[in-house]
Structure 1
Amino acid sequence: MRARRAAVMAVVAALSLTTGACGEGDSGPGVIEKAARTKTLAIGVIPDQPGLSLKTDGTYVGFDVEIGKIVAKGLGVDPANIQWKDTNVPIREEAIKEGTVDLVVAAYTINDARKKEVRFAGPYYVAGQDLLVKTDSTIRGPEDIDGKVVCSNTGSTSARRIRSQYPSVRLQQYDQDSRCLPDLESGAVDAMSTDDVVLLGYSMQPEYVGKFKLVGKTFSEEPYGIGMKKKDTAGCEKINEILQAAARDGSYQSAWNATLGKNDHSVPTLDAGRMSHCGA
């Protein structure tokens, strides 16, 4: 009897530990509480997107990175205390729900499917899906890709749109957009497709200047949001306030000018009217 009781207690203890570990991410503190208590935030970014977020020698630079710093500062966290986490497209929702990151600022398109899993503040930028091709390509828009080989990112809205709207396309997928570039250069694929602002950054990399061109015919609207735990309504509302304040005081424009604005001098407008309804 004593042995049986000990075995039962061991199972109960194991279940308690498992439940605590699984629930910590979803039921832990929101970003306001976390920032106030620890003076740190873990922010997920994509490490290989020039202009948006590029990791070089352990340092992250780009527009998404600057937006992350603006948000952290607004929450009372010194940007020097941000823990940047590599968070590629296929794992963004998982990273938020498991508590690996507090926020994701990673070319993260707001859509209905994702809103079932996480909460979004923003949008802080609206991109559009486009095509990157070799400079001598005859592809001039999505109407020209039937039967072609197109490379995109696994799990991205771009890959899903290509598959659903252009079923004759042969879709090559990788877990990072940057892995498409050697295939495009060698001719193994005819085009690369993701958001225009991402493609612009790649095309301006020194090793690719003059080799690729942006088609410039977008065929979607991609509102970029800041992802957080589904239950964190207060955090969402606070971040929306921070973004609007950044647009008023000029720090949003400065973030753009220091990054993507070096190649695109038209500063985007942060439209408060499009901000997420955090309670929805």
Structure 2
Amino acid sequence: MLTLIRTRGPLGGTGRAGRLRRAAAVALAVAAAVPLATSCAAGTSVLDKDSLVIGVKKDQPGLGNLVSGRYEGFDVDVATYVAAKLGKQARFVPAPSSQREKLLMDGAVDLIFASYSITPERKTKVAFGGPYYVAHQDTLVRTGQREINNVRDLRGRKLCQVTGSNSWKRVKEERKIPVVLVPSASYSDCMADLRSGKVDAVSTDDLILAGYATAGTIIVNAPFSDERYGVGIRSGDIDGCEAVNKAITEMYQDGTAKKLLQKWFAKSGLALNFSVPQFEGCG
């Protein structure tokens, strides 16, 4: 709170000069106070919270899925572990791909564990702890589509495009493969479109595909990128980010990461990595 004190001397006087001096002093005091208030607001850390609101997916089997009113999956289990290491209770809310940055920037969530790949573009808006796993982009097709053996075979075919996801960009923009994009709101909708024949393929992280793969679909097992799953956190929370990274390190060191990966993906046939990923850095 800013307190003004009447003084005599240089700032005193009843004439015009005195009034101008007093006005200038007040303006300087207000200007000095504003950065302090802004700094305090920007410095709010997840470590200062009594409990954490964590954004996860609600429709990605194996990663984040809402089943009978409860969230389950690898991302949810990792988030629960990290929150416990921070000494916090966790409450989960849905974080669709198209809303992840906004949820963090608006303060609607404290952390995001939602197959959230770290990219330069996203780092201009939010910060990242981790990664807590490095997945690889692959392609899912209908069983019997033997002519599709890798991402290059998608030329001229219909590819599902999820709003807010970067996966389609790695196919059409980065690798210049001329696919026909078919917009969709989520990967669960993509799967329905794949089964119905509306699209020919779904291409995204192999852990996401592993959760969706069912009878009638198959992963081509031709990975072509590294997808670093980061913990979304508000920019400037360096202490919180470093605490998250410490928790992730402990998760790999005590064997929890291996148990969780095997719990959710052992049956997928994917080659899983049980080593601590190289962290992004919190500075």
Report TM bin, short chain: 0.7 to 0.9
**Does residue 54 of the first structure (1) align with residue 65 of the second (2)?**
yes
In structure 2, give the amino acid aligned to 1:65: V
The residue that corresponds to 2:211 in the other structure is 201
Tell me by how many angstroms 1:155 deviates. 2.1
Q: Which residue among 259, 262, 267 is the counterpart of 1:257?
A: 262
Aligned amino acid, residue 199 of structure 1: L
2-structure distance, mates of 1:225, 1:27? 21
AA at the equivalent of 1:32: L
Superposition map of 1:74-85 within 5 A:
74-77=85-88, 81-85=89-93
| 1:122 counterpart residue number | 130
Residues 45-82 of structure 1 show CA distances to partners (whole Å, capped at 9, x for unaligned) of: 111111111111111111100110111001102xxx42
- What SS does structure 1 have at the residue aligned with 2:203? strand
Q: Give the superposed CA RMSD.
A: 1.8
CA apart distance, 1:218: 1.1
Q: How far apart are the structure 2 equivalents of 1:252 and 1:167?
A: 35
Q: Provide Cα deviations, 1:158-188, integer angstroms capped at 9, x if missing partner.
A: 0222231335211112221110111111111
Q: Distance in 1 between matches of 2:53 and 2:239?
A: 18
What's 1:147 paired with?
156
- Indicate the residue corresponding to 2:184 in structure 1: 174
Indicate conservation of the 8 Å contact 1:63/1:255, yes or no: yes
The DSSP-based 3-state class of the residue aligned with 1:161 is helix
Count of residues in Structure 1 that have an aligned counterpart in Structure 2: 243
1:277 aligns with 2:250: no
Matches within 5 A, 1:37-116: 38=50, 40-77=51-88, 81-116=89-124
Indicate if the aligned counterparts of 1:49 and 1:198 stay in contact, CA closer than 8 A. yes
Match of 2:48 among 33, 36, 46: 33
- For the 8 Å contact 2:252–2:276, the answer to whether it is kept is no
CA deviation profile, 1:191-227 (whole Å, cap 9, x unmatched): 1111111011101xxxxx3200001111111011101
The residue aligned with 1:239 is 244
CA drift of 1:117 comes to: 0.9
Q: Which runs of 5+ in 1 are unaligned?
A: 1-22, 204-208
For the residue of structure 2 that corresponds to 1:29, the secondary structure is: coil
